[in-house]
Chain A
Amino acid sequence: MSTFRFIAIRILGAAVVLLVVAAITYALFMLLPTNPARAICDKPCTPDRLREVQAFLGTDKPWLAQFGAYLAGIFTGRTFGSGASVITCAAPCFGYSFQLHESVTELILSRLPVTASIAVGAAVLWLVAGVFGGTVSALRRGTFVDRAVMTVAVAGVSSPAYLIGLLGILLFGFVLGILPTSGYVAFADDPVGWFMHLILPWCVLAFISAAIYARLTRGEMLESMSQDFVRTARAKGLRERQVVVRHGLRTAILPVVTLFGLDLGSLLGGAVITEKVFSMQGLGALLIDAVHTLDLQVVVGFTLFSALLIVTANVIVDVVYAFVDPRVRRRA
């Protein structure tokens, strides 16, 4: 089928998934016993006051209307209340935090640079290290190099991020004292400081994911190098390096590419832990605080934003994969 149709169908599917996720999330958090109105009502909360708050929030309307208003808000912005005490939430409006007096979108955007710096930097590092390590292991299968890399990899896969992070802080921060142990410095303010503060988080995150990628790449390379077409490539008289890279790796890399795309999509989940370990005020910290203070608007908005990232990443991965692997195009 044509590429356009292929992409269109994927996007449509993604939109449906997002809608379902949004509905379930909204239902769970806004319509459950924990009454959002009660959460922002001052103490003591008189019944009159409660009714006022509900009207303000719009939670006195039927379920479907609430959800509809929420969805509409994402595209057109939303206003709470009326008259003197009106609060506007500009589009796209994922909710408004009454405790922090900012719209969820603004909150997310202000914290995004932190999380993005950590995630993207680490991602590049782990992709390169993992694929390289896995390939070398596969080509030198059974030798000391292979065993060493795989041992480190299995240790990496077994180590929780926070553990490695804390050990890293202990070693490089306190014992050796060469790296800062917490906090984030904006790139615009101080590029060197930005870099120094990120080295440890990058290495920590990359170590664990590189381990996963190394194991995966090794398995895929072993599989692909044992295929008939690799023998054909050799029989043509190609240099071994050409055979490995153009034929073996090119075929083996496909599942790795898929996984990378999906990992980028779920970076929000991984960020949460890293930020706590390194005491960085990123999106993860935002979520944890919101959970502890029961700021449900933030919780719901954050969840949806995260889902949006995941679903978008899935679509992109599908499309990229179709370009990269010609066999899929035919089946599609």
Chain B
Amino acid sequence: MSSPLLEVEGLRVAFGDAEPVVRDVSFTLTPGRVLALVGESGSGKSVSAMSVLGLLPPEARVSGSVRFRGEELVGASDDTLRAVRGAGIGVVFQEPMNSFTPVLSIGTQVAEAIRAHPTDLDRAAVSARIDELLRAAGLTDPERIRTAYPHELSGGQLQRAMIAMALAGDPVALIADEPTTALDVTVQAGILDLLRRLGRERSLAVLLITHDMGVVADVADELLVMRRGDPVEHGTVAEVFAHPSADYTRELLAAVPSLEARPASVGPRTSTATRPGGPDSAPASRDLSADASTDSASADVDDPSRASRQSVARLRDVAVRYSRRGGPTVSGIDLDLRAGETVGLVGESGSGKSTIGRALAGLVPVVAGSVEVDGSGLRTARGQRLRELRSRVGIVFQDPASSLNPRQTIGWSIAEPLLVHGTASAADRAERVRDLLTAVQLDPSWAERFPHQLSGGQRQRVAVARALALRPALVIADEPTSALDVTVQAAVLDLLAQLQDEFGFGMLLISHDLAVVRQLADEVVVLHDGRVVERGTTDAVLDDPQQDYTRMLLAAAPVADPVRQAARREAWRAWEGVAS
């Protein structure tokens, strides 16, 4: 076991006069090992990592000790820090599109990284080194990448370029701040593999910041769990995952939706007995046995009781095209949505899944096929008829920050559908708002609050309440939990399942996360490049996928179990080269 390269002790960070956001954090980095800093939003994990190299905003006050190769970095001079940045420790940031300067080419920026530290390479040698670095990061045409500008490359390519740039100074350690959060799952698998490989080859000490327990299980050797600035648990990945000692760690692990097969005796919407209720909800008390008996549709497509459920929406051979030139965004789409059931629409970015959701709401130009909502054609509906059809559909969007009008109270936002359709008096509307707030497990007196006073999870609940205001036949949930912390996500998914039981609407659940889809969906439709690639019941598709693409998606998604994940990683390697 080599000696530690980086020793952090008693790290404490505060911004201005506010409460410290990091309190007494300690960890060490050793060559060839990956340490993961894990936590939800507000845990202080990013702040801790950035404070190592002094990359925090000027208002930040850092105390404690950070020793790199014996040299103290806290309070060190600018020159000392500059020597360490890039040459001692390299950094990979989260959003590659924003982390590269938009007006300079990639080659220029990587060359800067090379020249930032004393080197006797001439121009030709620098160019050669850039190509070497880009190739080591898995980019096959470095000449093109070198002359390209950031906006011309994909997220995956940019992140590889960022890794190449971080290694330009030949560092001995690497800090990776949520390096794959903004990327598709197949791209993520490639980047994680790259990081792991480079770490081993070059004996790098890696500090990985992430909120995703699956990523931790895939890549990390050790982990430090943080919560609200405090360290909660520290140990090797094998130990902590198998026997978590802190309550919070247990909660985190339990909240992660499970991708893999459940015990066969339980139906699609699995119990929440192992999952705690969410932050502001009443303890989940769902009766499993009742579910299991009525849920005879667990694996049988031809079950008559299922087929007899009323159809709430239907897409037949639908194609959507935005601009006059180019091909359609999606084509040949068939979908059947029934009351009380959930169809999970799965795909990566650019697959067209959001487009389909919007087609059901009449928000995008449908150029072929038929769209039927509640029995009526949507494409030909105009004026009053269109409005009526729209009242039959409720949508929950992905981003809680922009789902609600910041200038209106949440009560107003929830009541807006009622206002628009002129159905009720002010008093009636107020009462309905109270009922809905209660249904989503929020305090009804909050109707007068504004969105900025609520947290992300609470705002999503409000969005759900709004979607249900007119008692829709169909609810479209477009990545409803992707922007939420994992514990909050679990609660919101539970809520959706519960409400579906209660109100009996059909749901289209759009997600890139197969595990989320597994939790709620009865049927799964896999989308790739605007076309349906595979469909079937959840168990059928996820346990025994027929198509290569589906298999690749499943293989690439990391699972929060180090032993299982190691095996899955090998299986994914068989697909390597397919994902770029």
Contacts and interface: CB of A to CB of B under 8 A. Distances in A.
A327 B152 CA distance: 9
Contact of A231 (B78, B86, B93): B93
Interface in A239-254: 239-240, 242, 246-247, 250-251, 254
Nearest to B85: A237
Interface string B77-109: 010001111110011010100111111100000
A249 to B, nearest CB: 11
Contacts of B95: 228
Contact of B151 (A239, A251, A330): A330
B153 to A, nearest CB: 12
Contacts of B55: 231, 234-235
Contacts of A232: 91, 93, 99-101, 162
A250 B105 CA distance: 13
B86 A236 contact: yes
Contact of B99 (A229, A239, A324, A327): A229
Contacts of B220: none
A74 to B, nearest CB: 38
Contacts of B165: 236
A218 to B, nearest CB: 17
Contacts of A155: none
A326 B103 contact: yes
B483 to A, nearest CB: 18
A121 B166 CA distance: 46
A327 to B, nearest CB: 5
B169 interface: yes
A238 B152 CA distance: 25
Given A234-B55, A236-B113, A326 B102 contact: yes
A231 B86 CA distance: 12
Nearest to A250: B103
Nearest to B50: A231
A11 B93 CA distance: 42
A249 B99 CA distance: 16
B496 interface: no
Interface string A37-57: 000000000000000000000
B149 interface: yes
Interface in B106-120: 112-113, 116-117
B103 A236 contact: no
Indicate the size class of the contact surface on chain B.
20 to 34
B162 to A, nearest CB: 8
A324 B78 CA distance: 32
B86 A235 contact: yes
Contact of A237 (B98, B100, B103, B117): B117
A236 B85 contact: yes
B53 interface: yes
A246 B111 CA distance: 13
Please indicate which of the listed interface residues B84, B99, B103 has the most CB atoms of chain A within 10 Å of its own CB.
Answer: B103
Please indicate which of the listed interface residues A235, A242, A251, A326 has the most CB atoms of chain B within 10 Å of its own CB.
Answer: A235
Contacts of A233: 101, 112
A247 B101 contact: yes
Contacts of B117: 237
- Binding site secondary structure of chain A: helix
Contacts of A325: 102-103
A97 B101 CA distance: 55
A234 B85 CA distance: 8
Interface string B302-314: 0000000000000
Please indicate which of the listed interface residues B53, B83, B90, B112 has the most CB atoms of chain A within 10 Å of its own CB.
Answer: B112
Interface string A216-231: 0000000000011101
B78 A236 contact: no
B82 A228 contact: no
Contacts of B91: 232, 235
Contact of A324 (B90, B93, B103): B103
Given A326-B149, A326-B151, A327-B151, A237 B116 contact: yes
B103 A330 contact: no
A327 B102 CA distance: 7
Given A237-B117, A240-B78, A251 B101 contact: yes
Contact of B83 (A227, A237, A324, A327): A237
A121 B95 CA distance: 44
B99 A250 contact: no
Contacts of A240: 78
Contacts of A227: 98
Nearest to A232: B99
Nearest to A254: B103
Nearest to B116: A237
Interface in B14-46: none
Interface of B: 53, 55, 78, 82-87, 90-91, 93, 95, 98-104, 112-113, 116-117, 149, 151-152, 162, 165-166, 168-169
Complex A-B, nearest 3 residue pairs according to Cβ-Cβ distance, in ascending order: A237-B86, A237-B85, A235-B91
Interface of A: 227-229, 231-240, 242, 246-247, 250-251, 254, 324-327, 330
5 contacts: A239-B82, A250-B103, A251-B102, A251-B103, A330-B151
